[in-house]
Amino acid sequence: MAKPTIKAVLLSPQREPGVKPLLVVGPSLGTSTVLWTEAAALLGDEYDVIGWDLPGHGISPAATEGFSVAELADAVVELVDSVSPGAAFHYAGVSLGGATGLQLGIKHGDRLRSLSVQCSGAKLGTPEGWLERAETVRAQGTPVMIQGSAQRWFAPGFMDRRPETSSRLLHSLRDAERFSYAFCCEALAAFDVRGQLGGITVPTQALAGVEDTVAPPSFAEEVAEGINAGGGSAVAVALDGVAHLAPAEAPAAVAGLMRTFMKENGR
């Protein structure tokens, strides 16, 4: 196990660093920073938005060995330090990117101004399911996941309404490096921070899609309840007509919720 290497994409206008607050956004398994393009554009006048790609996805190099979700969180902090050493930042992440956000809250809470955990949870799926998926993708490649992912990722009717967006996201999955994808699955198999939520003190919002079968609204509620039980401050919000990729499915709603939360609750 080793901290993986991840690369970043600037999703807001180029300007002098530090003038605007920093917002770092993280991806779902099989996607890339494309997931955040529209929501980031809506926030880019007020925040410096940096998106990162999972190992072997987007512009990040392939992983050569396994890693944990906690090590992904370490890699995000290292990435931020390469851009703006020691900077505090807002963080938002989807699914595996949201799980990474929870690990940031647990391990690097002093660096966070706010945390937005989207379409995610303190535990996702079962270890058996993730390990089986890892084995399948290692053998057959990521294209084998496209049909099932299309059904899980998007609420009914979205692919017909927004064919370009859904196609770009599914192309990200097709182009992901198979072994890195499998390592991500194995990281999720071992991920379970339900007992550590009470240690998160950064203001947190947990967003969920009502149509999400992977991380339903009950997962967001569990995250918020666990943080609040430890004396932290968290709120859960469910989005109608949204499945597993909220920033792509409902960019205006997600950007609006994030903007309000960062301004009113961020530190």
Question: Model confidence over 143-156: pLDDT tens digits?
Answer: 999 999 999 999 99
* Residues in a beta bridge with 205: 116, 235
pLDDT: is 212 or 17 the higher one? 212
Q: Considering the domain boundaries, does residue 2 fall inside one? A: no
Q: Considering the domain boundaries, does residue 35 fall inside one? A: yes
The range of the structural domain enclosing residue 148 comes to 8-265
pLDDT of residue 157: 94
Q: What is the CA radius of gyration of the chain?
A: 17
* Burial class of residue 160 in the structure, from the number of CB atoms within 10 Å of its CB (0-12 exposed, 13-18 middle, 19+ buried): exposed
pLDDT of residue 19: 87
CA 224 to chain centre: 17
Across the range 7-15, mean pLDDT stands at: 94
Q: Considering the domain boundaries, does residue 74 fall inside one? A: yes
- Band (pLDDT 50/70/90 cuts) for residue 18 is confident
* 76, 100 Cβ separation under 8 angstroms: yes
Q: Considering the domain boundaries, does residue 65 fall inside one? A: yes
For the whole model, what pTM was predicted? Answer: 0.97
State the chain's mean pLDDT as an integer.
97
Q: Is the pLDDT of residue 183 over 90?
A: yes
We report the CATH number of the domain holding residue 168 as 3.40.50.1820
Tally of structural domains, the chain: 1
* 236, 220 Cβ separation under 8 angstroms: yes
Q: Considering the domain boundaries, does residue 131 fall inside one? A: yes
Q: How far apart are CA 105 and CA 115, in angstroms?
A: 7
pLDDT of residue 140: 97
